[in-house]
């Protein structure tokens, strides 16, 4: 059988293209069919909520289990559809397909119930921040501790005001000083790979004195109303997605 002879002018050499780390996320025009699968890296925290109304018992909740559009109706809060101001997830329990996230730090921000324009009572904040919390990725724990260990990482500082006859007890909307870098660092980071399940567990039912409840609507004086609780748990880090 005669040997197949390729014309050097028409022969093509196929090989995998190489890119430098500098080119990652910066697609450039190439000869022929462009590669649309180059990943881009952006700073985009992942977050979810723990909301509770006045005079309601705090319950166990697995955050990042309800995506945008799902109904939040826990702990006496008037049911509402979660939006981008409540969580970054668009599918339950995991990132978008082909997305990867590296958690660099953790933080917890808490204030009065969203929309009440009121302070968070110190007693309510104390019960919440001394509750057990855990970060799990694919059913493996990467943080086990309490809310007071996780600073808020930003926000406005509130303080109590009033008189001796009408004291007003409130606490900072922050857990810790209102500094953007005031978070719980995770050296080396924690990787959440595409389609991996992850959750952040908040479990006040483990408290030694029993499950705590939010203060009633007005307690102890009309000058010092309770305003419920809004808490955002944030994973600070970098999101890697297909461009």
Which pLDDT tens digit goes with each residue over 203-234?
Answer: 999 998 899 999 886 545 555 678 899 999 99
In the structure, what pLDDT confidence band is assigned to residue 82 with cuts at 50, 70 and 90? very high
pLDDT for residue 146 is more than 90: yes
Q: How many domains, the chain?
A: 1
Dist CA 231 CA 113 (whole Å)? 8
In a domain, 55, yes or no: yes
The b-or-e profile of 144-175 (16+ CB within 10 A means b, else e) is: eeebbebbbbbbeebeeeeeeeeeebbbbbbb
Domain assignment present for 30: no
Q: Which pLDDT value is given to residue 58?
A: 96
Judge whether residue 165 has pLDDT over 80: no
Say if 130 falls within a structural domain: yes
Whole domain around residue 96: which residue ranges? 42-242
Residue 70 resides in a domain: yes
More confident residue, 120 or 29: 120
Per-residue tokens: 187: 């050296």
Residue 182 lies in a domain: yes
Q: Quote the DSSP letter at residue 90.
A: S
- In this structure, is residue 56 part of a structural domain? yes
Strand partners, 52: 229
């Amino acid at each position: 059988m005669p040997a197949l002879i390729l014309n050097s002018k028409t022969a093509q050499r196929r090989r995998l293209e190489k890119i430098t780390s500098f080119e990652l996320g910066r697609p450039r025009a190439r000869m022929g069919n462009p590669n649309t699968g180059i990943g881009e890296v952006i700073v985009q925290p992942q977050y979810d909520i723990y909301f509770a109304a006045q005079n309601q018992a705090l319950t166990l909740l697995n955050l990042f289990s309800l995506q945008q559009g799902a109904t939040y109706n826990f702990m006496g809060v008037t049911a509402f559809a979660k939006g981008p101001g409540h969580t970054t997830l668009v599918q339950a329990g995991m990132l978008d397909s082909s997305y990867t996230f590296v958690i660099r730090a953790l933080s917890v921000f808490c204030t009065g119930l969203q929309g009440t324009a009121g302070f968070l009572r110190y007693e309510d904040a104390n019960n919440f921040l001394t509750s057990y919390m855990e970060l799990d990725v694919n059913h493996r724990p990467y943080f086990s501790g309490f809310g007071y260990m996780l600073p808020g990482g930003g926000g406005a500082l509130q303080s109590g005001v009033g008189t001796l006859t009408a004291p007003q007890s409130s606490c900072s909307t922050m857990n810790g000083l209102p500094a953007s870098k005031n978070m719980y660092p995770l050296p080396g980071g924690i990787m959440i790979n595409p389609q991996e399940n992850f959750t952040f567990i908040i479990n006040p039912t483990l408290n030694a004195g029993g499950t705590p409840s939010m203060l009633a609507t007005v307690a102890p004086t009309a000058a010092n109303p309770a305003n419920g609780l809004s808490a955002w748990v944030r994973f600070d880090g970098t999101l890697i997605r297909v461009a």
